[in-house]
Amino acid sequence: MKMLKLAGSNFFLGWIMASMIYLALLAILFSIVSTLSFDKWSNATRDLVTIHVPNPTKGTGSDDGVTRIDETLKILRAFPDIESVTILEKNDIERLINPLIEKDILKNILLPALIEIRLKRNEVLPDLNNALKNLSPDIFIEDHVELFSPDAKTFLGAKKLFSVIVSLTLFVAMISVIFTVHSGLAINREIIHVMHLIGAKNSFIARTFQKHVLKVLSISSVFATLLAIGTFFILESSLRVAFFGDVEIDIFKQINLWDWTIFMLVPVSYPLLGIIVVGVSVLILLRNQN
């Protein structure tokens, strides 16, 4: 029974809600993907450090011809909490330094040796640092977590931004619902008056509005969700490496049930919140009219 005239506001509300739900879903998807990338990057860099050994082939001063790199490796082998030791090849070092230094200069400088080690536990790092400093003060350790901390800060900022976007969409959606109720009550004033004279309570009128709005919001929600999923499939290959550069993730393998639950909360919660807001708005506005 379509007793209220809400065709105009339905159209307005439908599109606004669809747009807001679509934006919120994309923000949540991007947030999920960036979290997956961050987790993978975080796992990859945890307890990983690089030891820089300048002049690696230079002797240590002893008579047996032992070089600085040999001595460094000796110290590392003696350390019990080191899981793995990888000496980076010259090509790899050049590739790392290449963006920072011009090619001509690169040819003429003596590259340091870079040793990438994974620690069993990060607590041993100060002891290792002391041992290496004793060997030579210019040998230093670069902790990957600290090295990429600006990236982590960017990630946290992006995550906050996604939360702000979701909050804003929710705010706009609910304001639109209130606006629709307001205009709906004005347009249907005569009909509502007749309903009151027949004996309708405000709660009956609120339910009538809620039924109308629920239908509109449900259609908008389904439409926006399908559109967001479609957009996600189109962007999936770009999103694999969108965050943290070369850290590639397999999105569909890594998204878990909890992520999907958060995703599905948007198209479910927006209409539900919408009808609660409708109910409360109608009751408040009608009470103020009486």
Distance CA 60, CA 69 (A): 9
Burial class of residue 54, CB neighbours in 10 A (0-12, 13-18, 19+) = middle
The minimum distance between CB 8 and other proteins, in angstroms, equals 13
Query: Is 110 one of the binding residues for other proteins (CB under 8 A)?
Result: no
Distance CA 87, CA 72 (A): 11
Contact 143, 125 (CB under 8 A): yes
Contact 191, 3 (CB under 8 A): yes
Considering beta carbons, is residue 93 or 200 the nearer one to other proteins? 200
Applying CB under 8 A, the site for other proteins has a residue count of: 17
Give the three-state DSSP class for 79. coil
Applying CB under 8 A, the span of 33-41, 89-97, 188-196, 252-260 interacting with other proteins comes to 188-196
Q: Pick from 3, 73, 152, 273 the residue near other proteins by CB under 8 A.
A: 3
Contact 132, 139 (CB under 8 A): yes
Query: Is 196 one of the binding residues for other proteins (CB under 8 A)?
Result: yes
**DSSP 8-state class, residue 250:** -
Query: Is 195 one of the binding residues for other proteins (CB under 8 A)?
Result: yes
Distance CA 199, CA 186 (A): 20
Applying CB under 8 A, the span of 45-53, 82-90, 186-194, 228-236 interacting with other proteins comes to 186-194
Considering beta carbons, is residue 27 or 195 the nearer one to other proteins? 195
- Sequence-distant (6+) residues with CB within 8 A of 67 are 56, 57, 58, 59, 60
Query: Is 285 one of the binding residues for other proteins (CB under 8 A)?
Result: no
Q: Pick from 104, 198, 238, 246 the residue near other proteins by CB under 8 A.
A: 198
Query: Is 199 one of the binding residues for other proteins (CB under 8 A)?
Result: yes
Query: Is 1 one of the binding residues for other proteins (CB under 8 A)?
Result: yes
Q: Pick from 104, 197, 257, 288 the residue near other proteins by CB under 8 A.
A: 197
Start-to-end Cα distance in the chain: 25
Q: What residues does 50 pair with on adjacent strands?
A: 116, 142
The minimum distance between CB 203 and other proteins, in angstroms, equals 9
DSSP labels, 227-239: HHHHHHHHHHHHH
Considering beta carbons, is residue 125 or 187 the nearer one to other proteins? 187
Considering beta carbons, is residue 195 or 224 the nearer one to other proteins? 195
- Sequence-distant (6+) residues with CB within 8 A of 153 are none
Applying CB under 8 A, the span of 90-98, 105-113, 200-208, 238-246 interacting with other proteins comes to 200-208
Q: Pick from 66, 194, 234, 241 the residue near other proteins by CB under 8 A.
A: 194
Q: Name the residues that contact other proteins, by CB under 8 A.
A: 1-3, 5, 190-191, 194-201, 204, 287, 290
